[in-house]
Copies of this chain bind each other. A is one copy, B any other.
Amino acid sequence: MKTIAAALLFFTAMTTQAKPVAIVIHAGAGRIDRDSFTPEHERLYHATLEQSLRAGHAILKGGGSALDAVEAATVIMEDAPVFNAGKGAVFTAEGKNELDASIMDGRALQAGAVGGVTTVKNPIRAARAVMEKSPHVLFTNRGAEKFAADNGLEMVDPKYFFTERRWKQIQTWLKQQEAKAKPRAAAEPDRHADYFSTVGCVALDAKGNIAASTSTGGMTGKRFGRIGDSPIIGAGTYADNRTAGISCTGHGEYFIRHAVAHDISARIAYKKESLAKAARDVVQTVLKQAGGSGGIIGLDAQGNVVMEFNTNAMTRGSIGPDGILKTAIFK
């Protein structure tokens, strides 16, 4: 009798309740010095997160796809000069802005990515175009730009990405590099790059589809041509309807070497762990022991949201199946 009652209850829930929709975003993780973080800056962070979440959530509530939702939410964060993606990207050691992005559709594991672009206004749109309009997954540098232009995406002068704040950051960084010029300096961990303000989004739509996206300007003072984890499917981004969608932010090299986004998915699939446990183990144990700073956001098919980080701050927000919007920066 108990079984029948449970089955009936389950059936009723399936047929009468709309399936849950949910969205989660991040705009980087790292060490933020609370004293140097002005209330005005803090308000701007929260406002941008909210705008991004509401844009993605409106699409999901209207019956739109997870893919459309993550793109819309990511574009808002790319366009906001306050985050390190699109407009507002950090500068490379050579004083350039090189942008990376990736997107993945958890239905059939379709994916697209671009690396090292300098003239595509919204790299996440270029990543989606690669997924949908080419048989390939990853295009880099001028090849990626040519592909974006050929597919009608908005192209900009590299100067579009210039912001005074990031320019000051790279000038400070270059002075620090000069001051500490000594053998092997280049191979030492970069103490300045302690905030990794990549942006990313994961969404679950009413059809049960999960999509994930990541977009970044990389690390301040990164070397010309360096590609981090953001455009690497399996490292910075992964989505599989059967497990979860994941977007990462942090010291990218560690996320590549540990295949972080795919590893969380694999733990759910093969160890039958919850998203929460898999994310905690990877971020707080595996990455932490290896010395990899950063965090991840994730979402599974039941609408469970996870925001896990091993730094003192991760700029983040979500609207879960309960419809409640939350944004946060510090622990």
Contact = CB atoms under 8 A, between A and B. Distances in A.
A144 B256 CA distance: 17
A266 B256 CA distance: 15
A270 interface: yes
B227 A140 contact: yes
B139 A140 contact: no
Interface in A262-295: 262-263, 266-267, 270-271, 290
A233 B263 CA distance: 13
A305 B252 CA distance: 32
B258 A109 contact: yes
A125 B236 CA distance: 26
Contacts of A138: 226-228, 232, 256
B143 A225 contact: yes
A134 interface: yes
A146 B257 contact: no
Interface stretch (A70-78, A110-118, A207-215): A110-118
A152 interface: no
B226 A142 contact: no
B137 A257 contact: yes
User: Would you list the 9 A-B pairs with minimal beta carbon distance, nearest first?
Assistant: A143-B225, A266-B266, A270-B270, A234-B259, A143-B224, A259-B262, A234-B234, A138-B227, A109-B257
12 contacts: A136-B223, A141-B141, A144-B225, A146-B224, A232-B234, A233-B235, A234-B234, A234-B235, A259-B262, A262-B262, A266-B267, A267-B270
Interface of A: 104, 109-111, 115-116, 133-144, 146-147, 186-190, 222-228, 232-235, 238, 252-253, 256-259, 262-263, 266-267, 270-271, 290
